[in-house]
Structure 1
Amino acid sequence: MKMKKSLIAGLATLSLSVTSGAPLAVLAHPIQNAATDNGQSTLRPITSDVAVIAHRGASAYGPEHTLAAYKQAMTMKADYVEFDLQMTKDGQLIAMHDETLARTTNAKELYPDRAPWRVKDFTLEEISRLDAGSWFNKTYPNMAKTEYIGQHVPTLEEAIKFVKKHGNGKVGLYMETKAPNVYPGMEEKVIEILKETNVLDDEKLFLESFSEESLRKLKTLAPNVKLIQLYSGSMLTGKDVYQEMKRISDYAAGVGPSKELVVPKLMEAAHQNQLLVHPWTVNSEDDMVSLLSLGVDGEFTNNTDQLVDLLEKPYISHGVASGDVTDSSAILWARTNVEARVQFEISTDSSFKHDTIVKTSRADVAHDYTVNVEVNGLKADTKYYYRAHAVSSQYTVNGSFKTAPEENSLKPMSIVWGGDTGGQGEIPPYKSFKAMSAINPDFFLFSGDTIYADNKTPAVPNPPSETIQDFWAKYKENRTDAGLRSLLQKTGTFAIWDDHEVTNDFSGPSQPLTQAGLGAFKDYWPISSERSSANKLYHKYSWGKSMDMIILNNRGYRSPNTMADGPDKTMLGEEQVKWLEQQLLESDAKVKFVATSVPISVPTGKATARDGWANGNQVNPNDLTGYENEFKKISDFIIEKGIKNVYFVTTDVHFAEVIKYDANHDGKTDYHELISGPIGAVKINPGTLDPTFGPERLYAEGNFFNFGVFHVDPAKNQAGVEIRDENGKVHFSQTFQLED
């Protein structure tokens, strides 16, 4: 069989298929019809706009639930003003969040003998005497205004009329029945006032409550009103979110979850039932963007202006990353939500006041608005800070990385590695990335299966991924994980692909989907031109003389898995095998760290179609597949040339294992294999090892989420490995004395 020099000869230019649906009404903050949408994702708004809901008015800038705060929200172009409703002793509805008057008025001073100052114990006339604004000036002196002194508590009628008048008919009403069990008849009173003020049939009207009973009563009183079921964390504890969203869809038009509850499964469950998702209360720009990346339909916020600004301008939508870091260069990555020019600033100064390098790149639809920029001329063994923003936007995202030490230096180092994310129903959030980040590694090796393109997830409910839009959607879905974004922003990343970046157990040259899968992989990871050119993906990276990391491409050159093993069958291709041997031979690093996406002695794939190197004939004596002939060449080369301290590292098999090899059976260890995973996929237990290369298990454990840590201590001439669970707890630790 002739060895292939490139992944796929003559790849055609990627084509974009644009899907379109029925036209939707254009409201205040329209979503651009992006050609990058995959047409089936549940992680995108189901309306044509994302609603800016001013939480208690523009309550970051003025006293909540006062006319001043409502006016400020409308000036800032909010789509909705929210009222919390309480009922007075004489049955009048007022706008106030708390059941007591103590926090946001001067009730204690005016009525000192009436503790605990419950709203229901005061008449409207008594409440009308209160100052509802001065407290804000005392609490937030930097935001104080004289006009806030003497602001009064508005009635519901007054609040509605004020918004209708000053909002020019464009600003909607969003009101919550607070503690309806405390106020019998509250629902009837709400509907009565909505009728009297001629807003009950308004298109931009929502009623919300934590009380299902209250919402069902409102539905009975006004069948056409749009209702939002609010959720705190405890309300969803122990519930199947899919069943819960289906159940409430008979009365609710949407849900208002606490912001931390918004994850892909909730979005899928809600949107599949045509329920809007309006999380609360979202006050930081990072949180706003994070929720926008999940496809929410609106957000409650105290900072109305910040959300409006984000929705009106391009912004960095899925964090930033650095990768393929050397002693003098790095690749920086970012993605915007629409076409934009992206600016990166890079400096050794975290304030970016000194020695700042500036790079810009254009984010366009052909690459799903992702950009990769190369930064050269960096100092070795140095921590760099960088930040990125869409040029027209003020919103910035920060990151950092450390360059490799100088060529001949020996410095201690630590890395984390893992893979298998997004498979078999295990989707974000993942806990392992947060635990990885806490270790403060020098870099992160993402060892393959960085997505599961062929598995059902909220981003691709009808798998497998077939268009490049599907593949892009999978990467965006995993980037909704806050822990992953944090890790990528904290340290450099080296990403390699395995099978699920395209489809299970695929062979690049013969798989039609390889083109789209490879294109999306290169779009979504910070990959150097040395690796991406000619789609070779394999490369060597050095960490001084402490480690040479040799990254393999186990997919792009391989013969079909079903081909019988023999001298002509290849996984790496002849050129890559020769290159690997050359890197091993020439390396003078303490550790030769070979990043392979498939294992050596764990039989993977299927009988008669083995996907890793092992043929598994100890399981099936008639199994003639696998790639043992090729690995034997590599193994023999390591032994014959006396190459020491070789560690093959992988994930792929969904359990953790550490193996030492005596391939020539002379009683000495020839090399090691380190296996971790999964981060987020099906968990299984270790099986039987193929005996061909003399493996001996040092550790094997399955049925838990985990990742690996590898460190080198040149001063002690030692290397070490740890397997940690998703909480960071060490399950296995082994120190290796390095051979000279």
Structure 2
Amino acid sequence: MRYLIITVLLFQVSFYLNAQNTDSVYFTTGFKIGEVTNSSAIILTRLCATPEPVKVWHERKESVFRNPINFNNDMPVQKMEGSVPGSTGQVKITMNTKDTLISTDWKYVSSYKDFTIKNKFESLIANTSYSITIQGRKNPESPITEIKGQFRTPPLDDQITPVFFTSSTCQYYWSFDDPLRGFKIYDSMQKLNPLFHCQTGDYVYYDKPGPMAYNLELARHKWHAMNSWPSLLDFYVKTPLYIQKDDHDLLRDDAGPNSLPLGELTYEDGLSIWQEQVPIINTPYRTFRWGKDLQIWLVEGREFRSDNKAPDGKDKTIWGKEQIIWFKKTIESSDATFKILVSPTPVVGPDRSQGKFDNHSNASFQTEGIWLRKYLANHNVFVINGDRHWQYVSVDSETGLWEFSQGPVSDFHAQGWDENDTRPEHKFLRVKGGFLGVKVYRQKDQAIIEFIHYDTDGNEVNKEIIKNTRW
């Protein structure tokens, strides 16, 4: 009898271990290639327990943003649309060219960082195509799952080469315009084969329903749901990303260091989740060079700002003193033909006059805004801005500074301005969704930059062609 019991117990233990060993893991939320330079790149991925997210099952309101109807914020997260539970296990990342191969060891992931893993690769070769293979497994005896991608490193700083990139902003999960793929702009952008993409903030919306992100679990869910849309997954495994955060990625509308919690979610929680979910390491403000003719600056607009409603004056700031010193130093030392400030919020505008007080085009930050517009114009810098739900091209009447607003990722998300309200600053105005493309090239040795607005289907709706006249 004792022998039979031991045999049964051994069989049960063996069955359990074998079941565990054959568990599969997945890359349902894809991976991101971030912060690419001519010698380095950061790869971020997350190990998942299910091969697909929870499908959309709520109907949506026929209104702006298309909020879900009768959404129960207290239901288990596992039942919410876009839910993708994480999995413990191991991840290995390999990058190779036709001549070289770089690989990490197998590294464990855990719930501590939401099953994510982030690795910086250095000593890469400039202007070179790299293939990426990411492998995942539950344990050394389990089957291996793979996901693949590719990207190209920037050329050296003195190398003249054409560059094309895209930029977008403001995407709320429930504003999707393709029920199977998610957002049409990502498939439209992929057809244009950009060398990289700038996402200027509001990648997710913690403070919009479906669910409201009242705690860490719900906030992380917002990232899982967004990243599991097939159009985003397919785009980002082939397109390096430079991403910035804005208020909705951090906590709530107009968020800053003094913001009160959203339910249990604090400002500090928002910072922690941001650092966990995006392919960035260290300083949130940074600059990247793409050959002789292009350099971009990505600034941080939430961590160092003064209280939005404090009186305006010389000490009131969005960027903070340290970032301003860095910005001036790097701008003035750059010999790039074209310089672009990529800003999560407007610098020129015009913005709505009522209820808006958190960006440089608002009267609440007038002092710093006036200085910034003059400084940028004096150094021949163009501005690409996020945070506005309409597309525009504006030229500041005082300084001549150009600003390009991308518009939101879908027409459902477009709002906030009357399309008939064309101001003197406007060279182009369209209250619809879409994205921006930027093309830099040479024609008979003259450097040219094009700023192209596209609709969500990838059709051109406006183009500004600017030739370099400085040399």
TM range (shorter): 0.7 to 0.9
Tell me whether 1:355 sits opposite 2:100 in the alignment. Answer: yes
Residue deviations 1:596-615, cap 9 Å, x none? 10112336588465122123
Matches within 5 A, 1:138-153: none
**Number of the residue aligned with 1:476:** 224
Task: Describe the SS at the equivalent of 1:318.
Answer: coil
**Number of the residue aligned with 1:327:** 38
Contact 2:347 2:373 survives alignment (8 Å): no
Contact 2:24 2:145 survives alignment (8 Å): no
1:570 Cα deviation (Å)? Answer: 0.7
**Number of the residue aligned with 2:434:** 706
Matches within 5 A, 1:105-144: none
**Number of the residue aligned with 1:336:** 47
**Number of the residue aligned with 1:497:** 245
Contact 2:348 2:373 survives alignment (8 Å): no
Task: Describe the SS at the equivalent of 1:723.
Answer: strand
2:198 alignment partner AA = L
1:592 Cα deviation (Å)? Answer: 0.9
1:590 alignment partner AA = T
Task: Describe the SS at the equivalent of 2:415.
Answer: coil
**Partner Cα distance (2:184, 2:425) in 1:** 31
Structure 1: gaps of 5 or more residues: 1-29, 31-76, 78-307, 532-536, 616-624
Identity of aligned residues (%): 22
Residue deviations 1:618-648, cap 9 Å, x none? xxxxxxx521211222223345xx412x111
Residue 650 (structure 1) aligned to one of 371, 374, 385: 385
Contact 2:293 2:447 survives alignment (8 Å): no
Task: Describe the SS at the equivalent of 1:500.
Answer: helix
Classify 1:490/1:368 alpha carbon distance in 2 versus 1 (closer, same or farther; 3 Å).
same
1:317 Cα deviation (Å)? Answer: 2.8
Classify 1:380/1:515 alpha carbon distance in 2 versus 1 (closer, same or farther; 3 Å).
same
Contact 1:603 1:610 survives alignment (8 Å): no
Q: How many residues align?
A: 401
Classify 1:336/1:507 alpha carbon distance in 2 versus 1 (closer, same or farther; 3 Å).
same
**Partner Cα distance (1:628, 1:595) in 2:** 20
**Partner Cα distance (1:605, 1:686) in 2:** 7
**Number of the residue aligned with 2:272:** 519
**Number of the residue aligned with 1:4:** none
Classify 1:606/1:733 alpha carbon distance in 2 versus 1 (closer, same or farther; 3 Å).
closer
**Number of the residue aligned with 1:673:** 403
Greater gyration radius: 1
Residue deviations 1:198-250, cap 9 Å, x none? xxxxxxxxxxxxxxxxxxxxxxxxxxxxxxxxxxxxxxxxxxxxxxxxxxxxx
Classify 1:547/1:592 alpha carbon distance in 2 versus 1 (closer, same or farther; 3 Å).
same
Matches within 5 A, 1:517-596: 517-527=270-280, 529-531=281-283, 537-596=284-343
**Partner Cα distance (1:522, 1:717) in 2:** 37
Task: Describe the SS at the equivalent of 1:516.
Answer: helix
1:497 Cα deviation (Å)? Answer: 0.6
**Number of the residue aligned with 2:128:** 382
**Number of the residue aligned with 1:409:** 159
Matches within 5 A, 1:233-244: none
**Partner Cα distance (1:609, 1:515) in 2:** 24
Contact 1:601 1:689 survives alignment (8 Å): no
Classify 1:591/1:695 alpha carbon distance in 2 versus 1 (closer, same or farther; 3 Å).
farther
Tell me whether 1:684 sits opposite 2:415 in the alignment. Answer: yes
**Number of the residue aligned with 2:236:** 488
Classify 1:729/1:394 alpha carbon distance in 2 versus 1 (closer, same or farther; 3 Å).
same
Give the structure, 1 or 2, with the largest relative contact order (CA under 8 Å, sep 6 or more).
2
Residue deviations 1:148-188, cap 9 Å, x none? xxxxxxxxxxxxxxxxxxxxxxxxxxxxxxxxxxxxxxxxx
Residue deviations 1:348-399, cap 9 Å, x none? 13xxxx5211014332211111111000010000111101011443220001
1:404 alignment partner AA = P
Residue 630 (structure 1) aligned to one of 344, 368, 373: 368
**Number of the residue aligned with 2:192:** 439
Classify 1:443/1:309 alpha carbon distance in 2 versus 1 (closer, same or farther; 3 Å).
farther
Classify 1:695/1:404 alpha carbon distance in 2 versus 1 (closer, same or farther; 3 Å).
farther
**Number of the residue aligned with 2:171:** 421
Contact 2:207 2:253 survives alignment (8 Å): yes
**Number of the residue aligned with 1:454:** 207
**Partner Cα distance (1:310, 1:441) in 2:** 41
**Partner Cα distance (2:24, 2:426) in 1:** 55
**Number of the residue aligned with 1:613:** 360
**Partner Cα distance (1:420, 1:310) in 2:** 42
1:509 Cα deviation (Å)? Answer: 4.4
**Partner Cα distance (2:244, 2:36) in 1:** 14
Contact 1:508 1:558 survives alignment (8 Å): yes
Residue deviations 1:322-355, cap 9 Å, x none? 0100000000111102112210010013xxxx52
Structure 2: gaps of 5 or more residues: 1-15, 49-86
Classify 1:452/1:718 alpha carbon distance in 2 versus 1 (closer, same or farther; 3 Å).
same
**Partner Cα distance (1:312, 1:489) in 2:** 25
1:484 Cα deviation (Å)? Answer: 0.6
**Number of the residue aligned with 1:723:** 453
Contact 2:23 2:143 survives alignment (8 Å): no
Contact 1:340 1:363 survives alignment (8 Å): yes
**Partner Cα distance (1:540, 1:701) in 2:** 30
Task: Describe the SS at the equivalent of 2:104.
Answer: strand
1:663 Cα deviation (Å)? Answer: 2.4
1:682 Cα deviation (Å)? Answer: 2.1
Q: CA RMSD in A?
A: 2.7
**Partner Cα distance (2:269, 2:351) in 1:** 25
Task: Describe the SS at the equivalent of 2:145.
Answer: coil
**Number of the residue aligned with 2:64:** none
Classify 1:503/1:510 alpha carbon distance in 2 versus 1 (closer, same or farther; 3 Å).
closer
**Partner Cα distance (1:595, 1:310) in 2:** 47
**Partner Cα distance (2:195, 2:326) in 1:** 26
Contact 1:593 1:648 survives alignment (8 Å): yes
Tell me whether 1:373 sits opposite 2:119 in the alignment. Answer: yes
1:483 Cα deviation (Å)? Answer: 0.9
Task: Describe the SS at the equivalent of 1:648.
Answer: strand
Moved over 4 A (4+): 308-311, 423-428, 603-606, 687-691
**Number of the residue aligned with 1:164:** none
Classify 1:432/1:701 alpha carbon distance in 2 versus 1 (closer, same or farther; 3 Å).
same
**Partner Cα distance (1:739, 1:393) in 2:** 59
2:114 alignment partner AA = D
Tell me whether 1:732 sits opposite 2:468 in the alignment. Answer: no
